[in-house]
Amino acid sequence: MKQALIFDMDGTLFQTNLILEPALIATFDVLRKNNLWDEDTPIDTYREIIGVPLPVVWKTLCPSHTLLIREKSNEIFQEKLIELIKAKKGSLYPNAEFVLERLSIDNSLYIASNGQEAYLQAIVDTYDLNRFIKKVYSIQSISSGQKSDLVKKVMNENYITGGAVIGDRLSDIMAAKDNKLTAIGVNFDFAQAEELKQADKVIDHLIELL
């Protein structure tokens, strides 16, 4: 039996909140310049839904926009996020590298994220996470856009039969339960108390994983 720990990225390993606001502001500044937005940047709305698939994000943030404009908005947003990541304006959560290093000794570690491939790769490259993580899986790699299916893909491709999913949102918790893995909720920036109640265990700091 091969055990694995499957991590979410945003709000679990990476402090997305540090780059979220400037990236969103920059994106909506572009929309304003093109007369596609005339209100404040909907930062609070995004914080409430972070972790959901990106098409849902932009449908929620810009319900009156066409699909084409939403897709372009997301492209701009991704570019701004990556610029900030590479400039090290973001950060991993406290003790993330230490915990990953320790866990990788006796466990196979993977990332399964709703983030896009280029965005995730920017984080992995900037913080050299390949030292600990065997493979990173983006939601872009599956057609359904569901985290449960993404975790199932991780398990099938790597012959995983047990372990845990570690994440901050309900999609992570349900992905664990749907695949008969332990659901570990992290009570970090974007976590919701009602969602965490469904996890098998809840931690307040990554160091608790040890």
Pair 64, 49 in one domain: yes
> Do 57 and 156 have their domain in common?
no
For 59-112, how does the pLDDT look when each residue is reduced to its tens digit (9 = 90+)? 999 999 999 999 999 999 999 999 999 999 999 999 999 999 999 999 999 999
Q: What percent of the chain has pLDDT over 90?
A: 87
Range of the domain at 133: 3-15+90-209
How far is the CA of 167 from the CAs of 8, 46, 48, 74, 203, in angstroms?
5, 18, 15, 23, 10
Residues 116, 196 share a domain: yes
Whether residues 140 and 166 share a domain: the answer is yes
Q: How many residues does the chain have?
A: 210
Number of domains in the chain: 2
Judgement on whether residues 107 and 57 belong to the same structural domain of the protein: no
pTM of the model: 0.90
